[in-house]
Structure 1
């Protein structure tokens, strides 16, 4: 088995933890598996180095300064493995085997990085490379970085390019949890989660795996997240399944838009629960939900629009904060899924602008961390789909 494992800053935050990491790496190597290691800076070293820069440093100088955290980690791990009789080598920018190449903006050059990563992979089994995470170099050999979460990106990207069977992210949480264990009682480990689910959680604050890293995962690459106290790298934690799809998709059947208005919706707890619960009890699937200043809109299939209208109307009669429900039928929805939306300013404009230029009315736009849904009149769906496809 070929494994790429990444040790986060917390998992290397002390001598004891470095010893634990070295033990787990040695066990995998001694069992006959091929393993490459990606190391983050110890603890909060990167933040401390950044805080020390109280002057106008060039990007190149800043990269050289913050690189010292990762450079220290790989040396410590290499020494710990040598003490255990494991043949290892630390690999950092400037090393002949260095794999990660970017342009001057820190954008990965995939062809060159893949070529170098595959060359490095051919040495696995004979030696354990310990690679600095987060860091990269441009084609001229100048230091660059991959940005926040760059060590995760290094690990999953190398796992992909080195044809690894598994990428294991070793961090300070026991995989993905049902809730923040520091806030909620009884939080449990989620044994499996999809890339789509995890990316949405990550973009909304769940610090498990950097969202940008997951764009390098495909169906064949197993990615797991384990706690640094979990000594066995090859078991436990949370398995991340699937791959993130880049696509433009249009629902084949038309939708109806049901808008419930109420003067105190924003200040009345439980309104959304009452309305969506009533639709659930009527076995009506809701495709999407949007909220306005004093309204809530549900999108459902046109075949159940009449039933849904009656269900919502019944709730209006029983709730004094709600005023009326109105229905608009024959609406199409076009969804754009992408991996980097939160980091790409103007994504919504790239959809809205061309549609407006074609004089297509936009009924609604609903966004999430990884998708944008545009609702347009059903009669305009084919033209709108072509416009959005051309934009992406």
Structure 2
């Protein structure tokens, strides 16, 4: 449970800066100047920093040179050091500007998690120390992505975990807003690198933002959006490279998007593969063995779909999506499993991508799915798998058709228009 405390007086903002925002000494100086100006204007601020861009990957690579199968506990001990570099450098930069600041690890802040190394969940936050620092006019600079488990071991929250750290602190401190500074100016209707007509959204509802994050939008980690929604933390995405109001993620139906078209954005996910196992459903034992294998390897899958191989054969198969990077290790495990259980033929299709229309009430509007398929069909793009829900219409296509599909759908659903 979070201990919630609200300081009196000035507004309190928790501000998270990602790896590109603090990716060099020059970038750290720019952010420090921005924070100093806000401090002089009377804002109370708690900073949460990621490791400098590329640092976490470097640390994982070092571990792989020693032991590709290093224990999760030791990996957490190693990669959590990346954030300590950025928070200490930021504290120095602020102190040189006359701003009282203090760098803090997750342990010092008392961010308590469970013991699931590499993917820990925050269970409680003790705000006493942070509150004391704020009352003394000191800017706390907290290492994102990390916490401490009941045994006193360092844990990490998984990739993108600094977003979750920021939201958890904002919830516990009852901050006026949690601001996520990144290398884009907000949340867009789709990836502007694919379609230059993509439009930045001034506001977006939590339900839609969560769906977009889960479906591949990289601007916010899904866990942070869920956390903010659960604890009703106002969340804003801003650019650390340019001025602007960014995108506010807010509650209720009062946003302009609730009154707009039901499709509010297009999310994409690349580097996927389809794995089909013939005849799997002829035995529940085989199906259970597959699920156990996926769980053991921590392979996230979706579109688990029973398929008829053809109209003549009654044999059913299962087809699902997974990250292409996980295919080879999974195939090896399934081949081992086939020695004791005849799983049937394995069919792999690589270089797949998922395109998802995201919005409100989509499943109830059959015409939207028909329109989506017609648009793709007119571009000679074959939809290989489909998945629908109240907030998304997703299809799997060849990755080579991704840009063409996104631009066609973005135009057809008029997402470039206000």
Where on the TM-score scale, by shorter chain, does this alignment land: which range? 0.5 to 0.7
Structure 1 residues 16-51: Cα deviation after superposition (integer angstroms, max 9, x where no partner): 111111111111211111110000010121112112
Cα 1:287–1:123 change in 2 (3 A) is same
Deviation at 1:108, TM superposition (A): 3.4
1:136 correspondence with 2:213? no
* Aligned pairs for 1:201-212 within 5 A: 201-212=212-223
* Aligned pairs for 1:192-271 within 5 A: 192-218=203-229, 221-230=233-242, 236-242=245-251
Describe the SS at the equivalent of 2:134: coil
1:68 correspondence with 2:77? no
Cα 1:289–1:168 change in 2 (3 A) is same
Structure 1 residues 274-330: Cα deviation after superposition (integer angstroms, max 9, x where no partner): xxxxxxxxxxx97154999xxx7xxxxxxxxxxxxxxxxxxxxxxxxxxxxxxxxxx
Report the counterpart of residue 293 of structure 2 in structure 1.
Answer: none
Distance 1:107 1:370 in 2: 28
Describe the SS at the equivalent of 2:51: coil
Question: Mind listing any 5+ residue stretches in structure 1 that lack a counterpart?
Answer: 245-284, 297-364, 372-392
> In the alignment, is the contact (CA less than 8 A) between 1:156 and 1:217 conserved in 2?
yes
> In the alignment, is the contact (CA less than 8 A) between 2:208 and 2:391 conserved in 1?
no
Deviation at 1:222, TM superposition (A): 2.0
Deviation at 1:366, TM superposition (A): 4.7
> In the alignment, is the contact (CA less than 8 A) between 1:159 and 1:166 conserved in 2?
yes
The correspondence for 2:36, drawn from 26, 31, 34, is 26
> In the alignment, is the contact (CA less than 8 A) between 2:145 and 2:162 conserved in 1?
yes
Deviation at 1:121, TM superposition (A): 2.7
Describe the SS at the equivalent of 1:144: strand
Deviation at 1:93, TM superposition (A): 3.6
Instruction: Report the number of matched residues.
Output: 256
1:287 correspondence with 2:364? yes
Deviation at 1:86, TM superposition (A): 0.6
Deviation at 1:165, TM superposition (A): 0.2
Describe the SS at the equivalent of 1:41: coil
Deviation at 1:369, TM superposition (A): 7.6
Cα 1:103–1:286 change in 2 (3 A) is closer
1:166 correspondence with 2:177? yes
> In the alignment, is the contact (CA less than 8 A) between 1:118 and 1:161 conserved in 2?
no
Describe the SS at the equivalent of 2:150: coil
Distance 1:198 1:370 in 2: 11
The correspondence for 1:102, drawn from 104, 113, 117, is 113
> In the alignment, is the contact (CA less than 8 A) between 2:210 and 2:226 conserved in 1?
no
Describe the SS at the equivalent of 1:101: strand
Report the counterpart of residue 183 of structure 1 in structure 2.
Answer: 194
Structure 1 residues 232-270: Cα deviation after superposition (integer angstroms, max 9, x where no partner): xxx6111111179xxxxxxxxxxxxxxxxxxxxxxxxxx
> In the alignment, is the contact (CA less than 8 A) between 1:100 and 1:108 conserved in 2?
no
Structure 1 residues 118-169: Cα deviation after superposition (integer angstroms, max 9, x where no partner): 5423431421110000011112321001112100000011111111001110
Distance 2:99 2:20 in 1: 23
Deviation at 1:367, TM superposition (A): 4.0
Which of 216-225 and 167-176 deviates more? 216-225
Deviation at 1:370, TM superposition (A): 8.5
Question: Mind listing any 5+ residue stretches in structure 2 that lack a counterpart?
Answer: 1-10, 254-361, 371-386, 394-418
Distance 1:149 1:166 in 2: 19
Cα 1:220–1:118 change in 2 (3 A) is farther
> In the alignment, is the contact (CA less than 8 A) between 1:4 and 1:166 conserved in 2?
yes
**Higher radius of gyration, 1 or 2:** 1
Describe the SS at the equivalent of 2:52: coil
Report the counterpart of residue 407 of structure 2 in structure 1.
Answer: none
Distance 1:241 1:85 in 2: 35
> In the alignment, is the contact (CA less than 8 A) between 2:363 and 2:389 conserved in 1?
no
Q: In angstroms, what is the RMSD of aligned CA positions?
A: 3.1
Report the counterpart of residue 99 of structure 2 in structure 1.
Answer: 86
Distance 2:15 2:252 in 1: 19
